[in-house]
Amino acid sequence: MIRTLLKEVRQYKRASIATPVFMILEVLMETMIPFLMASIIDNGVNAGDMGHIYKVGGVMVVAAAFGLLAGVAGGRYGAKASTGFARNLRQAMFYKIQDFSFANIDKYSTAGLVTRLTTDVTNIQNAYQMTLRMFTRAPASLLCAMIMAFRINMRLASIYLIAVVLLGCVLFFIMNHATKYFQQAFPKYDDMNASVQENVSAIRVVKAYVREEHETSKFRKTSENIYRIFVKAECNLVYNAPLMQFTVYTCILLISWIGAKMIVADSLTTGEMMSLLTYCMNILMSLMMLSMVFVMISMSTASARRISEVLNETSDLKNPENPLREVADGSICFRHVDFAYKKESQEPVLRDINLDIRSGETIGIIGGTGSAKTSLVNLISRLYDVTAGAVLVGGRDVREYDMEVLRNQVSVVLQNNVLFSGSILDNLRWGNRYASREECEEACRLACADEFISKFPQGYDTHIEQGGSNVSGGQKQRLCIARALLKKPKVLILDDSTSAVDTATDAKIRRAFREELPETTKLIIAQRITSVQDADHIIVMDEGRIHGFGTHEELLAGNEIYREVYESQTKGGGDFDEKAGE
């Protein structure tokens, strides 16, 4: 886990190395000051030697200045290293997510990935900075102060040693207990982010049904869970400060009492006594800083584990060693294909699928909800890999192609249409970033999108809000179809992509495809039989199997499911899920 995260330090290695170096330099300068102060008191003040006071005082000023500069440099490099590390982690996770297959993405919730990119990375950033600075400074300060204290007086320095051991054991117990709660707390952020995301994305539904109170209650519960866990963790950490103060004051009292007797007995000087008290504070403050570092590390351990999960996740889909970079044509072949979303699934979603589709054909796909229509077409563009069998495009197994080449030639208009914030042209050029305005207009004409775009005051420069909230469902679908056409694919898949379009416009789109895209293989998933009845062949899906394959007339004559749905739709406008007689 640590090795995975530290790989992302990359260009900030120098800053990461410079930070502890400057922190150690600062500690060395600070350690010299009490020793020099003892010399001023014993050899300057008590001896009445002003020259010695000036001389050693000058050295103290230089040491303090160097310590100050080293501290500033350490802070500056520490901030640069930690923020850069956080940036690299976010970039690495984001790039990794872009390479995920649909199967990989299915393992994580959207809210969980957002939490990892935000809260978890911030925790790691804070912990990394604390580790570079305090985790270096505190042990170095503790070690240097202990060495100097033993050099001055071993008897009094033993008090520090005993205090450090006892306090260290107690702090370890507290940190270990608190860590368990922090590990429980951060995954709860996923639930809270999920609640917020769901509420914001569905805010129109929430307001339409006047469910603001219900959503507020849901959010309150998730935030309350986080609050309770953090309270439990902090209740353990709250013992840290009083224990530290008790140890500090106990050590000061013991040193003052024993040291005073030793001064009277002439076995200790006043300057040495002052130095020991200063080193006492250094030692115990170092322990305090170490405890803070351990708290931060405890908080970030769960975050580090969650981030490394994403970084170590390997995509289920990979390019072959020597991938094909050209798709010959739009022919599609399924050979005894089985498919399951999870390997451990006992029942496959698709079972023994055999299909032969010639290049340029128009194929309709209909079936009830859950009949695996979308699962079938997802295998063509290799959004998922088959569990058994093979899918061929252009006469070659899709696993032999470079995935970018394949997906550029197999254009999919997904069931859930998504538009991005920006102009209409910007959204269209997602299909082809180099497309000219004329090519965009031609694609919109084929998709019957030019009809409404021309009515906008700014035309193709009209701004689309995030998610396409300022256009209707039908308009959004037509823009997505136009975007897919700009790729000039050999295979075009429309996954229920005209469901929000009126029947007249739907017919225009199908006619345009038939007349102007004769060489492109077109697969149209639909609930309305009128959307597919003119297709060369129609596939009837039922419970993950092909129940029927043929023309509209052939299926009407020989396929019971198709005939019942056709009759129900022509009589009462029912959809595919409403069988006749139900």
The domain spanning residue 283 has which CATH number?
A: 1.20.1560.10
Do 308 and 373 fall into the same domain? no
Residue 580 lies in a domain: no
Q: Which span out of 7-21, 284-298, 459-473 was modeled with the highest average pLDDT?
A: 7-21
Q: Averaged over 165-180, what is the pLDDT?
A: 77
Query: What domain range includes position 440?
Result: 332-572
Q: What backbone torsions phi and psi does residue 350 show, to the nearest 5 degrees?
A: -115, 140
Question: What percent of the chain lies above the pLDDT cut of 70?
Answer: 97
Do 268 and 204 fall into the same domain? yes
Short-list 85, 63, 106, CA closest to 5? 85
Do 226 and 354 fall into the same domain? no
Do 352 and 219 fall into the same domain? no
Query: Residue 184: which residues within 8 A CB-CB, separation 6 or more?
Result: 229
Measured distance CA(394)–CA(334) in Å, rounded: 12
Do 143 and 289 fall into the same domain? yes
Burial class (CB in 10 A: 0-12, 13-18, 19+), 280: buried
Q: Which 3 state secondary structure label does DSSP give 577?
A: coil
Question: What percent of the chain lies above the pLDDT cut of 90?
Answer: 27
Short-list 405, 229, 395, CA closest to 319? 405
Residue 582 lies in a domain: no
Short-list 74, 123, 171, CA closest to 297? 123
Cα-based distances in Å from 432 to 336, 441, 449, 484 = 34, 13, 17, 9
Do 307 and 346 fall into the same domain? no
Q: CB of 270 within 8 A of CB of 263?
A: yes
Q: Which 3 state secondary structure label does DSSP give 354?
A: strand
Indicate the pLDDT class of residue 575, thresholds 50, 70 and 90. low
Structure tokens at 254: 């013991």
Q: CB of 492 within 8 A of CB of 521?
A: yes
Of residues 249 and 399, more confidence is placed in 399
**pLDDT score, position 363:** 94
Indicate if the pLDDT at residue 286 is higher than 70.
yes
Residues facing 107 on adjacent strands: none
- Give the other-Cβ count within 10 Å of 573's Cβ: 9
Indicate if the pLDDT at residue 103 is higher than 50.
yes
User: Interior CA angle at 459 toward 455 and 463, to 5°?
Assistant: 115
Indicate the pLDDT class of residue 572, thresholds 50, 70 and 90. low
Q: Where is the domain boundary, 282, 312, 342?
A: 312
**pLDDT score, position 579:** 47
Residue 318 lies in a domain: no
Lowest mean pLDDT among 299-313, 350-364, 422-436, 438-452: 299-313
Burial class (CB in 10 A: 0-12, 13-18, 19+), 416: exposed
Do 385 and 270 fall into the same domain? no
Structure tokens at 455: 């009515």
Burial class (CB in 10 A: 0-12, 13-18, 19+), 298: buried
Do 188 and 297 fall into the same domain? yes
The domain spanning residue 554 has which CATH number?
A: 3.40.50.300
Structure tokens at 414: 């997904």
Type of residue numbered 36: L
Q: Where is the domain boundary, 312, 342, 375?
A: 312
Do 196 and 254 fall into the same domain? yes
**pLDDT, tens digit, for every residue of 77-97?**
999 999 999 999 999 999 988
Indicate if the pLDDT at residue 581 is higher than 70.
no
**pLDDT, tens digit, for every residue of 30-63?**
888 887 887 788 777 777 778 878 888 888 899 8
Q: CB of 353 within 8 A of CB of 334?
A: yes
Indicate the number of domains in the chain.
Answer: 2
Do 308 and 451 fall into the same domain? no
Q: Averaged over 460-474, what is the pLDDT?
A: 85
Do 107 and 237 fall into the same domain? yes
Model pTM score: 0.72
**pLDDT, tens digit, for every residue of 384-432?**
889 999 999 999 999 999 999 998 899 888 777 788 888 999 999 988 8
**pLDDT score, position 577:** 55
**Strand 545-550 with 537-542, pairing:** antiparallel
Residue 320 lies in a domain: no
**pLDDT score, position 580:** 38
How many helices (H) and strands (E) the chain has is answered by: 20, 12
Short-list 454, 485, 449, CA closest to 468? 449
Residue 578 lies in a domain: no
Indicate if the pLDDT at residue 228 is higher than 90.
no
Indicate the pLDDT class of residue 433, thresholds 50, 70 and 90. confident
Indicate if the pLDDT at residue 126 is higher than 70.
yes
Residues facing 397 on adjacent strands: 392
Of residues 398 and 297, more confidence is placed in 398
Do 285 and 336 fall into the same domain? no
Residue 108 lies in a domain: yes
Cα-based distances in Å from 97 to 251, 310, 342, 498 = 54, 8, 19, 30
Structure tokens at 491: 């295979």
Q: What is the DSSP letter of 41?
A: I
Residue 319 lies in a domain: no
Does the CA dihedral 137-143-147-152 come out positive or negative?
A: positive
Residue 361 lies in a domain: yes
